[in-house]
């Protein structure tokens, strides 16, 4: 049994920092609003990740239903709230991994998987034992329990965590997530311990200050190497929060340097009911984003992804139509 796996009990669920303690096997729902069986909304080749994740054909992405964050601005709110979900057996999840691999997926990309970790582990172990050969990506808000992550050791190749907020005020206002920054840093520390510094199939780095054209250009334009293992930390800039973003970038670079890749994103899209949050309706100021990128470079960012224009569009939000399930 992997370290920490004894904590993954769906009968008294404390899988994530919410520690709801509900019995999901009896239909009780905690913060994630999900039962004791797997639910998802789509599985397909997704082109809109970082270039070294998507590659030429796309990342084999499984969008799970439910979430332990419920950010008020979530672009995927219909699945995060569990409004769109389809039950899939554990055996079916393993089959989906192989179907994505056969389609040429660069990797298996588990999106918002935290609340299903006890069910994902055996599906991954089964797939590995049967010959799944592409990397597995754990795509998360980073609001994670370290013990839960420890149970995944050896099964995850690439960790793709967010680092959303430095300010406690912001994490409470937008995600009701107390202690978010400290929790995310502890989680990222564990992720880095497991997978180490970035490695690429071509055995060479992507290049200093790599510019992420994927959001405005075809994925066919990318000719660099795919990531084999490592950590990419995402930070989505929020409207009017340049100061908070600078604090995050400074802390991440000071703590991790070139041991991780930093993906600084401008794709915030006003979405859903933002009544009570008028400051989010205006979107990200392009000048603020440019200033943040310049700041990161001045601090010595070498392993980074930036985004061009046109990413703040709902056309980049997938259709959650149960494709591939």
Q: Report pLDDT for 323.
A: 94
Task: Measure Cα distances from 130 to 14, 90, 234, 260 in Å.
Answer: 31, 15, 32, 31
pLDDT range class, residue 310, cuts 50, 70, 90: low
254: alpha, beta or left? (left if phi > 0; alpha if psi -120 to 50): alpha
What pLDDT, in 10s, does the model give residues 65-76?
999 999 999 988
**How many other CB atoms are found less than 10 A from the CB of residue 133?**
7
CATH superfamily of 36-311: Aldolase class I (3.20.20.70)
- The residue written with tokens 């899939």 in the block is 88
Residue 34: which residues within 8 A CB-CB, separation 6 or more? 24, 65, 66, 82, 85, 115, 116
Residue pair 107/124 in contact (Cβ under 8 Å)? The answer is no
CA angle 223, 228, 229 (to 5 degrees): 135
Q: Which of 79, 95, 19, 84 has its CA nearest to residue 325?
A: 95
What pLDDT, in 10s, does the model give residues 179-236?
999 999 999 999 999 999 999 987 444 443 343 333 333 334 566 789 999 999 999 9
- Bridge partners (DSSP) of residue 235 are 264
Residue 98: which residues within 8 A CB-CB, separation 6 or more? 127, 130, 132
111: alpha, beta or left? (left if phi > 0; alpha if psi -120 to 50): beta
Dist CA 59 CA 53 (whole Å): 6
Element (H, E) at 9: none
What pLDDT, in 10s, does the model give residues 10-64?
999 999 999 999 999 999 999 999 999 999 999 999 988 998 999 989 999 999 9
Residue 258: which residues within 8 A CB-CB, separation 6 or more? 197, 302, 303
- The percentage of residues in the chain with a pLDDT greater than 90, rounded to a whole number, is 76
pLDDT range class, residue 99, cuts 50, 70, 90: very high
What is the DSSP code (8-state) at residue 129? H
Give CA 7 to chain center in angstroms: 22
Task: Measure Cα distances from 104 to 55, 156, 158, 167 in Å.
Answer: 10, 19, 18, 41
- Bridge partners (DSSP) of residue 286 are none
Task: Name the token pair of 96.
Answer: 């989906």
Helices (H), the chain: 51-54, 77-80, 90-102, 117-129, 146-150, 168-175, 180-195, 242-256, 286-298
- Mean pLDDT on 102-115: 97
Whole-model pTM?
0.92
Q: Is 259 helix (H, G, I), strand (E, B) or coil?
A: helix
Residue 47: which residues within 8 A CB-CB, separation 6 or more? 54, 58, 59, 214, 219
Residue 2 has pLDDT above 50, yes or no: no
């Amino acid at each position: 049994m992997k370290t920490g796996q004894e904590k993954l009990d769906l009968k008294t669920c404390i899988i994530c920092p919410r520690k709801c303690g509900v019995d999901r096997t009896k239909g009780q729902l905690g913060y994630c609003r999900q039962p004791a069986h797997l639910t998802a909304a789509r599985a397909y080749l997704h082109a809109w990740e970082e270039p070294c994740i998507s590659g030429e054909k796309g990342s084999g992405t499984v969008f799970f239903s439910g979430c332990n964050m419920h950010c008020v601005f979530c672009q995927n709110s219909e699945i995060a709230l569990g409004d769109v979900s389809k039950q899939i057996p554990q055996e079916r999840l393993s089959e989906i991994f192989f179907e994505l691999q056969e389609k040429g997926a660069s990797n298996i990309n588990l999106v918002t998987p935290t609340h299903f970790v006890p069910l994902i582990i055996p599906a991954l172990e089964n797939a590995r034992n049967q010959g799944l050969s592409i990397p597995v990506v754990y795509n998360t808000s980073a609001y994670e329990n370290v013990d839960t992550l420890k149970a995944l050791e050896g099964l995850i190749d690439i960790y793709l965590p967010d680092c959303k907020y430095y300010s406690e005020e912001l994490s409470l206002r937008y995600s009701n997530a107390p202690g978010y920054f400290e929790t995310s840093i502890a989680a990222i520390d564990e992720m880095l311990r497991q997978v180490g510094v970035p490695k690429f199939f071509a055995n060479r780095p992507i290049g200093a200050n790599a510019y992420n054209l994927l959001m405005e250009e075809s994925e066919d334009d990318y000719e660099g190497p795919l990531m084999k293992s490592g950590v990419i930390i995402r930070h989505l800039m929020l409207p009017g929060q340049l100061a908070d973003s600078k604090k995050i970038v400074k802390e991440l670079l000071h703590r991790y340097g070139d041991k991780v890749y930093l993906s600084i994103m401008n794709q915030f899209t006003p979405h859903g009911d933002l009544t009570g949050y008028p400051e989010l309706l205006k979107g990200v100021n392009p000048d603020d984003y440019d200033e943040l990128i310049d700041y990161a470079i001045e601090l010595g960012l070498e392993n980074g992804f930036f985004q061009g224009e046109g990413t703040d569009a709902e056309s980049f939000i997938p259709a959650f139509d149960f494709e591939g399930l």
